[in-house]
Structure 1
Amino acid sequence: MKTLPRLLVGLLLTVGLVATGTAMAADKQTPIHFGDITWESGSLTTEILRLIVEKGYGYATDTLPGSTVSMEVALARNDIQVIAEEWAGRSPAWVKAEQAGEVFALGDTVKNADEGWYVPKFVIEGDAKRGITAEAPDLRTVDDLKRYAQVFRDPEEPKKGRFLNSPSGWTSEIVNSQKLKAYGLDELYVNFRSGSGAALDAEVTSSIQRGKPVLFYYWSPTPLMGRFQLVRLEEPPFNEAAWKTLTDASNPKPQGSRSLPAKLSIGVSAAFRQQYPELVEMFTKVDLPIETLNQTLAHMSEKRQPPKDAAQQFLKDHPDIWKAWLPAAQASKVEAAL
């Protein structure tokens, strides 16, 4: 074969490099789809990660809405690529997809996260400063709720109490509905689903500020935990077999159990894990101290700050936290962008 003229070789190399560069640029401009999480800690974490991915690594991102379960299904199909706050192992949809190698939980992003059923402390102990008398002085466990349904009287069905559940579409809504049956409370309490995480938060906050008893499901990290004195009701110890009956909405005989010990991670699709190794490495290092996170969430809630603005403020205020996740070059780019 004859040797190609130098000019032609150079031209071919130039075309090849341009084509490669164009392909890389196009890939960077193809958005990475994040799940549009509606609860506060999930929204904040989503925006923190998006800012780092965009400013530090140069990738475009966007968000797609959906319920918890529908987002997990979409993740398995790679219709979305990232769920920034995944309570891994909670739902059958996640477990099935994880076992099939379709989704992966990266890191341990918030240590000491928790969830359960709560009441304000004044319901049990009263509050002399506010002139509130204890209405359920012996309330300690979920079983004790059988005696106190009228304390938490439902305004629409006054013969029953009201339990504030998660919004429909959340994995925890299914679990809480099954727990009401397991604890023999489904005939005594109205299973009230709030329209959104914000609506649940608003109703709980309003009741506490007015000194009214309220029984509700809640979780941490959240601003609510830092703002009010709450008591978590005791449940039977965690039991794996019982937990399976609680996550299965069709199980007619659910068994009582504390919820699965919380492990918050970043959920990613199998395709994302293969395509973006540098982001996977960064995601595994994400560590949000729960006290700092709760304070940020409380400020975001009190100031009615959009999650993106709160995320920018978090990155400005706590470089010592997030710089530990990134290589120096990417950290410098994020800092410059702020």
Structure 2
Amino acid sequence: MTRSRFIPLAILLSIMAMIAAVACGSETVEVPVTQIVEREVQVTQVVEVEKEVEVPVTQVVEKEVEVTKVVVETETVVETEEIEVTKIVEVMVEAPEGPKETIVFSDLNWTSAEIQNRIAQYIVEHGYGFPTDVVPGATLPLFQGLRKGDTHVTMEIWLPNQSIGWTEAVELGEVVSVGKSLVGDWQSTFVIPAYIAEQHPDLKTPQDLMKPEFQELFATDDSRGKARLVACVPGWSCELVNDEQIETYGLTDSLYVIKPGSQDAMFAELFGAYEKQEPWLGYMWGTGDPALKLDLVLLEEEPYTQECWDSGKACHFDESLVLIAVNPSLLPRAPEVIGFLQNWEFSIPVYKPVFQWIDSNPEATRAEAAIWWLENNQDLWSDWVTDEAAASVMAALDAGLEAEGWPEE
């Protein structure tokens, strides 16, 4: 009886001992447990749907727009030489919208170029709404300015004087010709007054200037016993032609060359000598002021050929080809102005009346001469522009307006 009560007690003590052993032991028993965690996660859901989407499309709209024919074509002019000249090709271009940028003219420093600029500026400003400006200077620097885009329009590019630089610029796409002016003008390094030709019939060619009697005839106090020749203004393309012809003809030791500082100084030399009936020898061209007023004679030279011109220039200048040129940047932004310049027809007969008016009004400015010409030649210039532009120009003339881009004179 007593023993049977101790058995449960023994069992209980044994269990407690085991628990104590586990509790006090140094070994940890890991029991795998599956843990359930609830959390929010972002899920990308792919859903197929059908939906109407607006896609940008090119809209074709039929409307009436004013377009201008822009000329961009190259042809070869073949007479006595070959020169690449850009001519008319019909390309329909719509004038761009937005503010109109200033068009800068190359303001070459002689009368015909200045007059053409003032007239063209007035029409561009009041007929087509473009602001204008000018950059004054001589042939060579202003041609470089046109190539670089510092100016946009040059109304007189003289060929063959500028033929080398012109051909290069055309090939590089830096300039484009859009028209012609002063067609048929002439040039010569060796011009004398008609009264000198009558007094000295043996003076016929440049080589005759080497003779002692003609050295003495044209000698002055400052020419050191040599014949005095008035050459081109420095910076004009004809300056280089004068120099080369003098060397090729063997006249370097026979001539004392003067290069006046301006057109006005050159003209004053000739006008002064002519008034006194004194000897004068030098360069002149057909639309130079003295040539339009005085009786002049060109010394005889061999006819122009390209071969001669490329090998010393011991021959006449070719009949001048005077181009209107633009920087290519002007084509897309002012097609209406390009169209106007393509129609420009400022020939020598057109120029002579305005020159005569200037001669009769010596105090008048180039701007005043341009106004006079526009007011008295509407039938001519109105054919160069659109009807709307012509009406706007006439309204500006009637209102007594000037062109804001004209330089101070």
2:327 maps to 1:327: no
Against the structure 1 CA distance between its residues 336 and 190, is the aligned structure 2 distance closer, same or farther, given a 3 Å change threshold?
same
CA distance in 2, matches of 1:154, 1:185: 17
Match of 2:124 in 1: 53
Q: Deviation per CA, 1:230-288, whole angstroms, max 9, x where unpaired?
A: 1112211112133235xxxxxxxx34122233111211111113322211111111112
Against the structure 1 CA distance between its residues 141 and 52, is the aligned structure 2 distance closer, same or farther, given a 3 Å change threshold?
same
Structure 2: which amino acid aligns with 1:333? S
Q: Deviation per CA, 1:78-116, whole angstroms, max 9, x where unpaired?
A: 111011122145323222101212112222222221111
Match of 1:194 in 2: 260
User: Which of the numbers 286, 298, 302 marks the counterpart of 1:236?
Assistant: 302
Q: Which moved more, 1:203-212 or 1:231-240?
A: 231-240
Match of 1:76 in 2: 147
TM-score, structure 2 normalization: 0.70
Match of 1:129 in 2: none
Structure 1's unaligned 5+ residue stretches are: 4-22, 126-133, 246-253
CA distance in 2, matches of 1:192, 1:274: 45
Match of 1:138 in 2: 202
Match of 2:367 in 1: 308
CA distance in 1, matches of 2:141, 2:178: 20
Identity of aligned residues (%): 27
Against the structure 1 CA distance between its residues 320 and 241, is the aligned structure 2 distance closer, same or farther, given a 3 Å change threshold?
same
Q: Which SS does the other structure have where 1:157 is aligned?
A: coil
Q: How far 1:73 sits from its partner (Å)? A: 0.9
CA distance in 2, matches of 1:182, 1:302: 41
Match of 2:138 in 1: 67
Structure 1: which amino acid aligns with 2:323? S
Structure 1: which amino acid aligns with 2:192? V
Q: How far 1:145 sits from its partner (Å)? A: 2.3
Q: Deviation per CA, 1:18-53, whole angstroms, max 9, x where unpaired?
A: xxxxx9553x2x321111111011111111111110
Q: Which SS does the other structure have where 1:185 is aligned?
A: coil
Q: Which moved more, 1:287-296 or 1:174-183?
A: 287-296
Match of 1:107 in 2: 179
Structure 2's unaligned 5+ residue stretches are: 1-51, 55-95, 398-409
The answer to whether the 8 Å contact 1:236/1:257 transfers is yes
Q: Which SS does the other structure have where 1:310 is aligned?
A: helix
Q: Deviation per CA, 1:111-154, whole angstroms, max 9, x where unpaired?
A: 221111311100021xxxxxxxx2x2222222222221221113
The answer to whether the 8 Å contact 2:160/2:320 transfers is no
The answer to whether the 8 Å contact 2:152/2:330 transfers is yes
2:371 maps to 1:298: no
User: Which of the numbers 246, 268, 271 marks the counterpart of 2:326?
Assistant: 268
Structure 2: which amino acid aligns with 1:275? R
User: Which of the numbers 206, 220, 243 marks the counterpart of 2:272?
Assistant: 206
CA distance in 1, matches of 2:233, 2:288: 16
Match of 1:38 in 2: 109
Q: How far 1:2 sits from its partner (Å)? A: 9.2
Structure 1: which amino acid aligns with 2:329? A
Structure 2: which amino acid aligns with 1:210? K
The answer to whether the 8 Å contact 1:146/1:185 transfers is yes
CA distance in 1, matches of 2:254, 2:309: 23
CA distance in 2, matches of 1:271, 1:260: 31
The structure with the largest alpha-carbon Rg is: 2
Q: Which SS does the other structure have where 1:53 is aligned?
A: helix
Q: How far 1:295 sits from its partner (Å)? A: 2.9
Match of 2:223 in 1: 157
Q: How far 1:203 sits from its partner (Å)? A: 1.0
CA distance in 1, matches of 2:145, 2:108: 13
Structure 2: which amino acid aligns with 1:32? I
Q: Which SS does the other structure have where 2:314 is aligned?
A: coil
Structure 2: which amino acid aligns with 1:285? N
Q: Deviation per CA, 1:157-180, whole angstroms, max 9, x where unpaired?
A: 241011111111000011011111
| Cα RMSD for the two superposed structures | 1.9
CA distance in 2, matches of 1:229, 1:54: 39
The answer to whether the 8 Å contact 1:222/1:294 transfers is no
Q: How far 1:225 sits from its partner (Å)? A: 2.0
